[in-house]
Amino acid sequence: MKTMRYVYWQDEDMWLGYLEEFPDYLTQGESIAELQENLKDLYGDLTSGQIPGVTARGGASGDMKRIGPYPEKRENGGCVLLRHGGRHDWYYNPAARAAQPVPRHREIKEHLARHILRKLSID
């Protein structure tokens, strides 16, 4: 099994984090254990080849590279729901050619919400 390295921190009552290999994709959990499960779910989605425009940190240089296909269908230039993942819903902005996971929690921390909106180029 591959070892996943991740960065995490506590923001009030929630834990936020991302995989070192995929720093553009954050998630959250109510505990460290839930955060780890959410990160495993993200890793599965990000490496499945089904999420368009995924960027990964490559090799020792740390350069970012895009992986995965881009959907051909464009809907109104806004974000479209790509798919329901195990613990996240994936949204894609065709204009920005960017996809982001949105955790299925009752609340999403402000830091994570701003990150998602910025990455999807939503003002």
44 lies in which domain range? 6-119
Over the stretch 25-66, which tens digit does the pLDDT of each residue have? 999 999 999 999 999 999 999 999 888 888 887 544 445 444
Better-scored residue on pLDDT, 70 or 21: 21
Is there a domain that residue 1 lies in? no
**33-42 contacts, C-beta under 8 A, 24 or more apart:** 35/8, 36/6, 37/87, 38/87, 38/88, 38/103, 39/4, 39/6, 40/4, 41/85, 41/86, 41/87, 41/88, 42/85, 42/88, 42/101
Mean pLDDT of the chain: 83
* Residue whose C-alpha is closest to residue 16's, from 44, 43, 39, 46: 39
> Lowest-pLDDT range, 1-5, 12-16, 60-64, 107-111?
60-64
Query: For the chain, how many structural domains are there in total?
Result: 1
* Residue 68 or residue 55, greater confidence: 55
Is there a domain that residue 30 lies in? yes
Its pTM stands at 0.76
